[in-house]
Structure 1
Amino acid sequence: MAMILNALASNVLNMLMEVGKEEVSLLLGVSGEINRMRVRLQDLRNFLTDADRRRITDNSVQGWVTELKGVMYEATDILDLCQLKAMEQSPLASQKGCFNQLFSCLRSPLFTHDISSRIKVLNQRLDNIKERSAAFSFINLGSYDDHGGKVHASHVAFPSRETSGELDRSGVVGEKIEQDTRKLVEIMLTGIKGGTSHGDGKVMVFAIVGVGGIGKTTLARKVFNDEAIQSEFDKTICVSINQDLNEAELLKRAIIEAGGDHSHAGNAKATLQRVLKDTLTGKKILLVMDDVWNNIAWEDVLKTPLVNGATPGSRVLVTTRDERVARGMKAIPPYHHIDKLDADDAWSLLKKQVAASEMDESDIAALKDTGMEIVSKCDDLPLAVKVMGGLLRQKDRNHSDWGKVLNDSAWSVVGMPEELNYVVYISYEDLSPCLKQCFLHYSLLPKNIVFGSNTIVGMWIGEGFVHGSSSDDLEELGRQYYKELILRNLIEPYNKTINQYHCIMHDVVRSFGQCMSQDEALVAHIRETSTISKLGSQKFIRLSIETGGSESDKLKWSMLQEQKHVRTLISAGQFEVKPNETLNYFSSLRNLHIQSANIAALVDHIYQLKHLRYLSVRDSDIFRLPDNIGEMKFLQLLDLRSCRKLKKLPSGIVKLGHLRYLNMNETSKDATIPRGFGALSNMRILFGFPGHVDDEWCSLEELGPLCELRKLGLNSLENVYDASSAEKARLCEKVHLTKLILRCSSRTGDDGLVEEEAGVSEEEQRKIIGLFDELCPPHCLERLEIGGYFGRRLPRWMTSTSATALKSLNTLWIDDLTCCTQLPDGLCELPYLQFIHICHAPAIKHVGPEFMQLYHHCSHPPSKTMVSFPRLNKLDLKEMVQWEVWEWEEEVKAMPVLEEVQLKHCKLRCLPPGLSYHARALRKLSLESIQHLTSLENFASIVDLEVSQNPDLERITDLPVLQKLTIIMCPKMKVLEGVPLLQSLFLEDYGMEALPEYMRGVNPRQLNLDCSIAVLRSIAAGQPGPEWAKFSHVGRVKGYAREEDNKRKWYVMYTREPYNLETDIDY
């Protein structure tokens, strides 16, 4: 990516000022040269904004910019070396990152002479660069810091502009997309007689075609999520293909989406194809292939397992910019071409993006005239309108600010490269220099891998994109940058994760970022031979390379050895490393992210990367780190996740005074950390810290001095028998801690009960209770996760008398609560608690007033206005296999904003009256394997209900707004009434002998049915048959019957208007 000139200059100037403060320049005898460099850069700084803009269309300016960046990059290396020398001499300087211990180290004449000479040469180059700048007549636009109106963008997004969780910011607007969705669903479910298919009619391919950013993916997602589609197919798979196709990763993603397991399949294509075929065998499949650029992903990768495994009636939906791809995949013509939005829909989409709440839309409506002109300039393309909405969200809602955007000179820049979208460019130009760098860095990430926000922010910090004083929380500042990119629609949350932890970037936006970065960055896949060949002919500052799993797809490590100036190297996949090859080519490297690679042979040389700030070797084959890792004084982030062969950290780890992040999750079960770890006082995020009793290794008490921790995860706590070490960890004093994970090894079996061989003695229970009692978190904690806890009672700080320790908690996640006999009794009073997940709690039989009622926890009765669980939004109670009673009477006010409840595998006989009476916001209810539940009634707000494998359930009544109902294997179900708004009904029961009688009294728009061949044959008989009166009034009926492993071997399709009844059953 391109380092933004203004930001790079600020970084260098700050370093120079620091050197001046500590009188380093005097000791070097180059104080004049240091001042000269600072003055030259300060003079140039006012012209850098203009130079950064003009380089896009002027190659001569681009050359001048490249040379200036080269000088500044080298300056940061030199100043780094000064600080490194200081840290080598003084542990105090290593901790504080300062220059105040340089006197002794700079007495070395060789070091002094080398630094002095290099600075003088740089100044000579700067003089030449400054002289040449006159020829370009740069305009003095000032530095970014001079424009106070934009400063907010580089630090924190306005709270008033943030998006509420309820507000829909998708690209879905207007009736047109609804019509397109209905049309595609209808065609795909009906099929086209005589159309081309693959595998003797098993699979039909359909195509959505359109230019980038026009909404192909949005439409495909609408089709994919359609209820009729979801109920039609046994498995629905959605994969993004991308230009830089990685066959092994594509197959793995498809296997995971289909519910399979590739963990033992390796990376060989043929093996993964067999696993996918076996996963799909006997199932009717919908495969959505998004963003397809050629036929390879289908013809060479996915077609064979799908055609040979899936059952007839399976479908493929492909989105592509190129109609030739659709033809090559033999898609059914005519292809679905997406039109641009009409003007009104484009305006509606813009309003949706700008509004912070529904109340804002009236204010925005007053700007319609200007807004309509803006969307016209966006060419009515959905992506462009969304990005423009993200920009306008940062502006005041008045004609002046919107008019400035409308009349921005960037709309008319001449000579822009074809890859640069004008709308994205205007949004980009509105970013602060720091945020520009973060945005461009994001475009550098391999597209086939979804990175978490912790990883991305860590890279930004490692590159120096996130600036603050020593007291600033750089991680929090980086997360604010991340959130602002989301608010501006430059990245968007990945739809399979929560809390916006993972995001993706649209191809059009990514192409823009990579084009802006092409002078410094190479982004390539190993199979793009013409791009990879540039490694031997061009010099890059940043590399992002994706390889494959086969031998032919490995990248030769030697191909990188010419890239001596690289500062960021990101790689996913395998390398070919020969003996004696090292890392010492990369003397300027700041960020090294190598994922899923065989790099054990390189580990011994990691210490040579003196400038390195960020090191991630996750999911690699390393089994140790070098003892001299302590020489990497600048290292801030170390990610060792899933390095399963790694058993211990070297003693040198305690010398890394700048280390802020360490992740050891999923390393060896017996992994250890050396004593002295508590000296790492800059630590902010620590995951996978192991509990041990061995005197040779680090114990919990070493956490005591780590007062800056924000997130902490402790593993294998059953190995810690001395509660005093937990007390010395001083968790309650860590005033910045927001996330805490406490884990013991699981002792429950597949049946949810404690495994006999892993039984828990009273002494073990006593010790673990004592340990957890001492691990009391601070009041600022927001997320708590507990796993494998086997005490008979929960820690004291979770009870009613001490629950104020959790007063800021919003998420509670408990798994494997092996021996506890009751739920925490202090949760109901927590003011911010939104989500409770409790799974595998086999000893709990009764949930009573202590869980639900405030007065049980108060010395005096609560006021009438007080409610329990005032903000709880979602409640999951699963695998509580002995749970029989849930007390919650109507007079107990609780859970007023609860929207979703999931109950699974318990012995409840009924749901509590208070749930239906007070949980008036409840919209979705899922009940699975509730062994003794007989009835469900009087839920006034439920829209979506799923009941599955409830053997005694007989009645569902009085759900006045219910729209979607799923009933799976509930053999005693006899009564369904009081559901006037029911739209969709799904029934699965292969044991029933006839359609339920209650079908006569309900009128859904659609019925989907999985049943026995006998029932299906009765339906297929039509009007003379015995089932006609039960289903003939339903708008659309789809029924299937199984034969052996094929769940949908036989079918019946019925529509009321126009009448149609078809089947493949002979009767």
Structure 2
Amino acid sequence: MRIGVHDTHRVDLMSVEVGWELLWKSMNIYEEKEVHSLRNIGFAIIRTCGFLPLAIKVTASVLASKDQTENEWNRILSKYACSQSMLSNEIEGALYLSYDDLPHRLKQCFLYCALYVEDSAILRRVITRLWIAEGFINEQPGQLLEDTAEEYYYDLIHRNLLQPSNGSFDQAVCKMHDLLRQLALSISKDECFIGDVETLKGENISKLRRVTAVNKKDRLVLPSMNKVEVKVRTFFTGHGPQSIEDTLFRRFLLLRVLVLNYSLVQSIPDCIGKLIHLRLLDLDYTGISCLPESIGYLKNLQILSLNYCDSLHKLPLAMTKLYSLRCLSLLDTVINQVPKGIGKLKFLTDLRGFPVGEGSDNTDVQDGWKLEELSSVSLLRYLTLVKLERATHCSSNTVLRDKKHLKALVLEWTSNSEYVSKTEKVFEHLIPPRNLQTLYLIGFIGRRYPKWFSTTCLSSLLHLILRNLRSCVLPPVGQLPNLKYLRIEGANAVTKVGPEFVGYKNGDPHCTELVAFPKLEWLIITGMPNWEEWSFFDEEALANERGDDGATQIQKDDAQTAKLQIMPCLVKLKLLGCPKLRALPPQLGEDTIGLKNLELVETNNLKTVEDLALLSEVLIINKCEGLKRLSNLPRVSELHVSGCPNLSHVDGLISLRRLWLGEDMQEISRSWVPGLQMQHQHLHREDLDVYTMFSS
């Protein structure tokens, strides 16, 4: 019996052996003999964990950092007895051990996560900002606070105190398990409150430091506080309130974090300038149309988030007085007027939604910032440039290249331009530093890519996202040495993906040594309505290049020598909305030795999916109306099929353990499901698990 990583159900008391296996494997010990002498103590630890997989895993994280001796493990057991007497139940006692083992800096960060309501997604970029604003992050020599905060985040994941989302490639999204959240709330119950603030009494407010207001009414009403001293440092609002009393801004004078997002608040009062300790102000998704000039009094403000504010078109002049500002985020907020002097904010590390414009020499307010204004902002770590079509020139190649901390860059063109050549010249000057790890290209309107789009300038790139490209070709990125994640969305003009995408050129003398996408792990391609052909190299061209004296053919063994290796590290491949694609490249079944997950959605022109001998776990197929045959998939263990009315032949799935069928597949599957069941019974002496997927 195997236990899922996030399974919250108790296992049977007789499954102590299963718990023991989970314990030592969770410690990254791959041979039981390494801890065999500790087996009996291990059984006792498993019992204290209530046979709960979550508790076993977090306890294993504690044990992994200790000496593997009987004395050390017995010490952990004795600490459990002490913690159990402090908390409400045995499971909390077991989980408390992992909390108690944290250094002080991580304890604060862990407890803070409990402010998120149950089952909320926790975004890395958001929670690390909150920790910084609260002062939880210790400064490290030569390192930005944001980098240190991310180290804290991944440390909590490594200790199994935060669970990363399965759909997130780089663990950028996580959740807090309900039991761990209950533990955190139990530990911090005197300082934290989550619920309807109207139910609070004045004397209770005096003890609170952090509040999440869950209010379903249109107006957020605070309780009567009379002369009570309010020491709340963090205040979150949940979804819903259309207005908030000025009391929040007049009485909560020690606030460091104020999050009003997802509310319909339409105005911020002038008295916000009195919150002189405020370090983070989050107004995402609000209905505000302006910010008061009094915001300039917030000298300690580090983070200002104004994403998705549809009615906000102008930033106040006082913005340039926020000299402590580290993050300014304006994503999908159409800002038409900005104050001159963004370069004065020299501590900016995160600038999202920078509206490009031509600036102005004569006024304090301008229609966008010049690219050159970024030259003096040297600490940038994440940068999003929007409306790049409005840049008529870029006078220097060093606007971005000298920014040694820059890890992520987003370049966005929001509309068409008649000046394609000018756009390409500006793009050519936006040379990123060699340490860049993430690059987004959104809406590029040019026909050719810059020369710096090469293995030299992008040697550190890990993530590349190409969205809504207007060009008929994709950039040559197959030779980027460290690229792990590639996503292509909405390249409507592309009809063929071939050798140019790999980075191979006819006549290349090193073609026999080429490995295409050497470290790529995830490849996701969506919204390619005109894409028909997919190949990695031109075998005929390779053959012709090897001929002598005008010969056009080579021997068969020479052709095999010229074969290229394709995506040897690929784990996940997803194709969505590619209705004209006729076939998958055969190399997917030959070179992708790590391929575990293949998902095909709305690839209507595919007739067969076969000979993928290396695909080892899950195959998901949905809305592929032309698909007729699935064959020779010997390592696939789980198959999901729906929306395939012509699928009449399925065989060669000798490792299949679970079959999921859509409601619409019940009739057509009768011709091949019995064969799969007979095969499974013959090979494994048990029935094949078949499930029905019901449409929502």
Give the TM interval when normalised to the shorter protein: 0.7 to 0.9
Structure-to-structure mapping, 1:638-787, within 5 angstroms: 638-667=304-333, 669-695=334-360, 696=366, 697-718=368-389, 720-724=390-394, 727=396, 730-745=399-414, 760=416, 763-787=418-442
Confirm or deny that 1:902 pairs with 2:568.
no
Q: Check if 1:635 corresponds to 2:301.
A: yes
Q: Which of 523, 530, 533 does residue 200 from structure 2 map onto?
A: 533
1:910–1:627 Cα change, 3 Å: same
Match of 2:261 among 569, 585, 595: 595
2:599 maps to which residue? 926
**Match of residue 459, structure 2, among 802, 807, 810:** 807
Q: Specify the code of the residue in structure 2 equivalent to 1:677.
A: I
Partner of 1:385: 56
Note the alpha carbon deviations across 1:331-353, whole angstroms, 9 max, x for none: xxxxxx97557432332222232
Look up the equivalent residue of 2:499 and give its one-letter code: P
Matched, 1:350 2:5: no
Q: Which residue number corresponds to residue 653 of structure 2?
A: 979
User: Does residue 587 of structure 2 align to residue 914 of structure 1?
Assistant: yes
Q: Which has the higher helix share?
A: 1
CA distance in 2, matches of 1:655, 1:535: 36
Alpha-carbon distance, 1:886 to partner: 2.0
Partner of 2:522: 874
Q: How does 1:368-379 map to 2 (within 5 A)?
A: 368-379=39-50
For 1:101-500, what aligned pairs fall within 5 Å after superposition? 174=1, 218=7, 342-355=15-28, 359=30, 362-408=33-79, 411-412=81-82, 416-418=86-88, 421-447=92-118, 449-468=120-139, 471-500=142-171
Q: 1:845, 1:913 → 2: CA distance?
A: 19
Q: Cα–Cα, structure 1 residues 560 and 980, in superposed 2: closer, same or farther, change >3 Å?
A: farther
Distance in 1 (alpha carbons) for counterparts of 2:695 and 2:180: 42
- List runs of 5+ in structure 1 lacking aligned partners: 1-173, 179-214, 221-336, 747-759, 1008-1032, 1041-1045, 1049-1067
Q: 1:362 to 1:797 in 2, by over 3 A?
A: farther
Q: TM-score normalised to the size of structure 2?
A: 0.84
Find the partner of 2:217 among 550, 562, 569: 550
Aligned to 1:186: none
Q: Which residue of 1 aligns with 2:554?
A: none
Are the structure 2 counterparts of residues 994 and 501 from structure 1 closer, same or farther at C-alpha, using a change threshold of 3 Å? closer
Compared CA separation, residues 470 and 661, structure 1 to 2 (3 A): farther
Tell me the residue number matched to 1:606. 272
Is contact 1:555-1:575 (8 Å) kept?
no
Aligned position for 1:792: 447
Structure 2: unaligned runs, 5 residues or longer:
361-365, 540-559
Which of 1 and 2 has higher RCO (CA within 8 Å, sep 6+)?
Answer: 1
Aligned to 2:478: 828
Q: CA deviation at 1:483?
A: 1.6
Which residue does 1:861 correspond to in 2? 510
Q: Could you tell me whether the CA contact under 8 Å between 2:242 and 2:266 is conserved in 1?
A: no
Shift in alpha-carbon separation, 1:910–1:676, aligned structure 2, 3 A:
same
- Aligned equivalents of 1:785 and 1:813: distance in 2? 5
Q: Deviations over 1:365-409 (max 9, x none)?
A: 44323323333333434343222112122224344543432344x
| Cα deviation, residue 949, structure 1 | 4.5
User: For residues 695 and 112 of structure 2, what CA distance do their matches in structure 1 show?
Assistant: 47
Q: Distance in 1 between matches of 2:608 and 2:62?
A: 52
Aligned to 1:618: 284
Q: Tell whether the 8 Å contact from 1:462 to 1:614 is kept in structure 2 after alignment.
A: yes
For residue 734 of structure 1, report the CA deviation from its aligned partner.
1.3
1:892 aligns with 2:564: yes
Q: Tell me if structure 2 keeps the 8 A contact 1:700–1:728.
A: no
1:838-877 deviation digits (Å, cap 9, x = unpaired): 121122222222223556696x41564x522111112222
Q: 1:851 aligns with which of 501, 506, 526?
A: 501
Aligned 8 A contact 1:555 1:574 in 2: no
- Match among 626, 631, 653 for residue 957 of structure 1: 631
In structure 2, the residue corresponding to 1:797 is in which secondary structure? coil
Report if aligned partners of 1:603, 1:622 keep a CA contact under 8 Å in 2. no
For 1:936 and 1:431, the matched residues in 2 are separated by 49
Q: What residue is the counterpart of 2:184 in the other structure?
A: 513
CA displacement at 1:683 relative to structure 2: 0.9
What is the count of residue pairs matched by the alignment? 659
Does the 8 Å CA contact 2:397/2:430 hold for their aligned counterparts? no
Secondary structure (helix, strand or coil) at the match of 1:662 reads strand
Q: Give the residue type in structure 2 aligned to 1:603.
A: P
Query: Could you tell me the percent identity over the aligned residues?
Result: 31
Structure 2 letter corresponding to 1:817: L
Match of 1:750 in 2: none
Q: Cα distance 1:580–1:906, how it changes in 2: closer, same or farther (>3 A)?
A: closer
Alignment of 1:565 onto 2:231: yes
Match of 1:583 in 2: 249
Q: Is the 8 A contact 1:982 1:1005 kept in 2?
A: no
Could you give the per-residue CA deviations for residues 858-906 of structure 1, whole angstroms, max 9, x where no partner exists?
Answer: 6x41564x52211111222222222222223571112112122223414
> Does structure 2 conserve the Cα–Cα contact (< 8 Å) formed by 1:367 and 1:398?
yes
* Cα distance in 2 between the residues matched to 1:398 and 1:542: 41
Aligned-partner Cα distance in 1 for 2:61–2:78: 17
TM-superposition CA deviations, 1:120-144 (whole Å, max 9, x none) = xxxxxxxxxxxxxxxxxxxxxxxxx
Instruction: Please give the alpha-carbon distance, in whole angstroms, between the structure 1 residues aligned to 2:695 and 2:174.
Output: 36
- Give the superposition deviation at 1:677: 0.6
8 Å contact 1:854–1:867 — kept in the other structure?
no
Report the equivalent of 2:619: 945
Q: TM-score, normalised by structure 1?
A: 0.56
Check if 1:817 corresponds to 2:469. Answer: yes
**Counterpart of 1:371 in 2: which secondary structure?**
helix
User: 1:61 maps to what in 2?
Assistant: none
**RMSD of aligned residue pairs (Cα, Å):** 3.6
Task: Evaluate the alpha carbon distance shift between residue 978 and residue 405 of structure 1 in structure 2; reply closer, same or farther with a 3 A threshold.
Answer: closer
C-alpha distance 505-961 of structure 1, shift in aligned 2 (>3 A): closer
Partners of 1:499 and 1:791 lie apart in 2 by 30
Q: Determine the C-alpha separation between the residues in 1 that align with 2:484 and 2:52.
A: 37
- Taking a change above 3 Å as real, the CA distance of residues 977 and 602 of structure 1, as seen in their structure-2 partners, is closer
Q: Name the SS of the counterpart of 1:411 in structure 2.
A: helix
CA deviation profile, 1:406-456 (whole Å, cap 9, x unmatched):
344x63369625379333333333222222222222234443643322222
SS of 1:741's partner is strand
Give the conservation status (yes or no) of the 8 Å contact 1:546–1:573. Answer: no
Aligned equivalents of 2:230 and 2:516: distance in 1? 62
Would you say the 8 A contact 1:924–1:944 is kept in 2? Answer: yes
Alpha-carbon distance change, 779 to 579 in structure 1, aligned in 2, over 3 angstroms = closer
Q: Tell me if structure 1 keeps the 8 A contact 2:118–2:178.
A: no
Using the alignment, how far apart are the partners of 2:627 and 2:241 within structure 1? 57
Larger radius of gyration: 1
